[in-house]
Amino acid sequence: MARKICVLTSAHPPSDVRIFHKECKSIARAGYEVTLIASVEKDGVREGIKLVRLPRWRNRLERFLRCSVAIYKKGRQENADIYHFHDPELIPAALMLRLAGKKVVYDIHEDLPRTISYKPYIPNFLKGSISRAAEFVEDWAGARFSGLVAATPTIGNRFRRVNNSVAIVNNYPRIEEIELPSGAAIEKREAVLLYVGMRITRARGAEEMVRAMGLLPNQLQARLRLVGAWDPAELPQSLSSLPGWTRTEYVGPVDRIGIARELRKASIGLVILHPEPNYVASQPVKLFEYMCAGIPVIVSDFPVCREIVGKARCGFLVNPLDTDEIARAMEYLLTHPEEAEEMGRRGFQAVHENYNWANEEKILLQMYDRLFSLDPAYQGSLADTRCTP
């Protein structure tokens, strides 16, 4: 009988790229029986993965207060060998599963304490205290889980202080999902500057991208295409008065096929993140998707991005708050198509050699192999300060 893995998420959509398309599919292909408990429309099976429906919550507060109990009950019904959860708000449910003797893995997508500074629903005077409390709770709980999966080396290094079992599984793209550009050269493609993300926000450079478009010479006939959901919904109203707005096209959220289609249209990929603590140390998945599509990038000049883009020589690093600098990088790439094409080609090569999901999948599966190789009767203790699986 196949070993059973139960994947838990309350805050992410059931089709989340990292959770479903990367991890769940990889685990299922390796021969494990996979169940995903998430906010699906109804129970069922999708691509060999069992789906279990969570209740719909009216708001964030209700989800936070009620979700852990609901997901714990549904999780126990699955009687899995390992529970793999993805959201900090599920830490109470995960600790209850540990108390019940289950192996539990915490998948850490972002450095939570460093995200508090740009949460609009948290009052500014509380952000410092909440950030410190979040770090204490995550560290305390992280020490008690069977294993931790970190989406970046920075996150992994933080949690190695409290747990010996940390696997760094970078959120690199699945190459097979992103079709390669059909055109032979960048100059034959449209003058489209592309932003792809789940959300379009000020902290992710929405205003700077639009302002920079307004600084480009008219003869370039360039367009900015924004893929994702506005956050907040009122943001486009405040951007509509900017000169670059007439060159901006809003696409909205799209599925994975839609993203591949947008990448084929584009000639430049944009990652204009503000210098928020969490962003400075992040590895934006959109950066690797642009590189995988063979287009040059314009990226915030942060240490992690500098290492990736500098090593691959696949684009420009800019001050994300300097619209003049952003516009100059845009204009250079649009007016130097041969150099832009070569940058795109180098980025494409770097993804195929290093920054791809096939490499990360091996690390994830090795962690599962190690957990299953241990004494199955081992339950661990919530009193331990450093937990081995």
pLDDT number for residue 1: 65
Select from 3.40.50.2000, 1.20.58.480, 3.40.190.10, 3.20.20.10 the CATH code of 4-172+357-373.
3.40.50.2000
Residue-wise pLDDT for 172-193, tens only, equals 999 988 855 444 344 457 899 9
DSSP string, 287-301: HHHHHHTT--EEEE-
Residue numbers in the chain where pLDDT is lower than 50: 181-187, 376-389
pLDDT number for residue 253: 95
Helix axes 323-335, 206-214, angle to 10 degrees: 60
Give the predicted TM-score (pTM) of the model.
Answer: 0.88
Amino acid at 176: E
Q: Is the dihedral of CA 234, 302, 283, 215 positive or negative?
A: positive
Which residues, at least 6 apart from 245, have a Cβ–Cβ distance to it below 8 Å?
A: 210, 214, 239
CATH class held by domain 175-353:
alpha beta
Residue-wise pLDDT for 306-337, tens only, equals 999 999 999 999 999 999 999 999 999 999 99
Instruction: State the span(s) of the chain assigned CATH 3.40.50.2000.
Output: 4-172+357-373, 175-353
pLDDT number for residue 188: 59
Amino acid at 307: E
pLDDT number for residue 119: 79
Please give the structure tokens belonging to residue 116. 């508090």
d(CA 303, CA 60): 33
Which residues, at least 6 apart from 349, have a Cβ–Cβ distance to it below 8 Å?
A: 312
Where would I find the beta strands (DSSP E) of the chain?
4-8, 33-38, 44-46, 49-53, 82-85, 103-108, 147-150, 166-168, 192-200, 223-230, 248-250, 268-271, 297-300, 315-318
